[in-house]
Structure 1
Amino acid sequence: MLDELDRTILEILIDDARISLKELSQKVGLSSPSVSERLRRLEEKKVIRSFTVDIDPVALGYSLTAIVRVRPLPGMLHIVERLIKETPEITECDKVTGDDCFIGKLQFRTMEQLDTILDRLAEKAETNTSIVKSSPVKRRLPPLS
């Protein structure tokens, strides 16, 4: 799917998405138009979905993180999913198989704030919450090769 040059371009962008096209071209040994064309094709193929910024939640005052497993009560699946989507402190959520329907990641400032968030779900779902102590593996991509 990806040739060696595409992988090299992606590795450089993963390290520094703000790199200039000129500098990227120099690093991979191609002209700027050639690299620009490769980037356009990677975006068209949805290999590159966006160029984004990585913000540390702690810098915004969100010093606590929790993982919450959510099991909607009978008939409440769609309502719970909507509540999850409408809760900005839930920064990631996966719909999963097994006993729980959702596994979410929450960023919050205080335990009281966590209680408030969970209380919104309490009438419509059972929750099981774990506070994150550390993250030995931050979000990362699978190997490019």
Structure 2
Amino acid sequence: MKIDSLNWQILKCLQENARMTNVEIGRRIGVSSPAVAERIKKMEDAEIIQSYKTLISPFAAGYQLKAIITLRAFMGMLKPFLEKVKTYDEVINCYRITGNENIVMEVVLKNQSHLEKFIDQLIVYGETKTQIVLSHVVNHNAVKPLK
């Protein structure tokens, strides 16, 4: 499915607020509410729109640390880790990557003690490197049209 200018505008509205009504989206981009609904349905069917989510502030929810942890899996431990990582509540994003490390994770933790216990669980699977996130500089979770 081709994503034209109107579809990009609809996606931008939904990324700003997934609860925005079709009427409001239509008003913003200059098309009718039924046209917006039809375009959204087509993008859902084509799996361009995969889900609608609620974003939660980890800090407001009591998680005082955010960290980026990379893992270089021990021989034979990558597949077991890929299954286990899905069970960790601390992991908010996990990617399999190229390079010296196999995995990069974004995690939220309550405090330093929680971080230590979490790393103790990971070192069974491989060598870890941890960086503490100090601040959030850019948030480009939204997909944008390329120029």
Partner Cα separation in structure 2 for residue 24 and residue 138 of structure 1: 22
SS of the aligned residue for 1:52 comes to: coil
Cα deviation for residue 27 of structure 1 reads 2.2
Q: 2:8 touches 2:144 (CA, 8 Å); kept in 1?
A: no
Aligned runs of 1:63-142 on 2, under 5 Å? Answer: 63-142=64-143
- 1:41-100 deviation line (CA, Å, top 9, x unaligned): 111122111111111111110111010010111111111222222111011110011111
Q: 1:73 touches 1:126 (CA, 8 Å); kept in 2?
A: yes
Aligned runs of 1:43-62 on 2, under 5 Å? Answer: 43-62=44-63
SS of the aligned residue for 2:139 comes to: coil
Q: Which shifted more, 134-143 or 4-13?
A: 134-143
Cα deviation for residue 118 of structure 1 reads 0.9
Partner Cα separation in structure 2 for residue 67 and residue 121 of structure 1: 13
- After superposition, the CA RMSD in angstroms is 1.4
Q: Which shifted more, 86-95 or 19-28?
A: 19-28
Partner Cα separation in structure 1 for residue 139 and residue 4 of structure 2: 26
Partner Cα separation in structure 2 for residue 95 and residue 26 of structure 1: 41
Cα deviation for residue 141 of structure 1 reads 2.6
| Match in the other structure for 2:26 | 25
% identical aligned pairs: 31
Cα deviation for residue 104 of structure 1 reads 0.4
- One-letter code aligned to 2:101: D
Q: 2:74 touches 2:125 (CA, 8 Å); kept in 1?
A: yes
Q: 2:15 touches 2:142 (CA, 8 Å); kept in 1?
A: no
Partner Cα separation in structure 1 for residue 75 and residue 88 of structure 2: 21
Q: TM-score under structure 1 normalisation?
A: 0.92
Partner Cα separation in structure 2 for residue 142 and residue 31 of structure 1: 24
Q: Which shifted more, 132-141 or 34-43?
A: 132-141
Q: TM-score under structure 2 normalisation?
A: 0.91
| Match in the other structure for 2:38 | 37
- One-letter code aligned to 1:91: I
Q: 1:83 touches 1:121 (CA, 8 Å); kept in 2?
A: no
Cα deviation for residue 138 of structure 1 reads 2.1
SS of the aligned residue for 1:127 comes to: strand
SS of the aligned residue for 1:57 comes to: coil
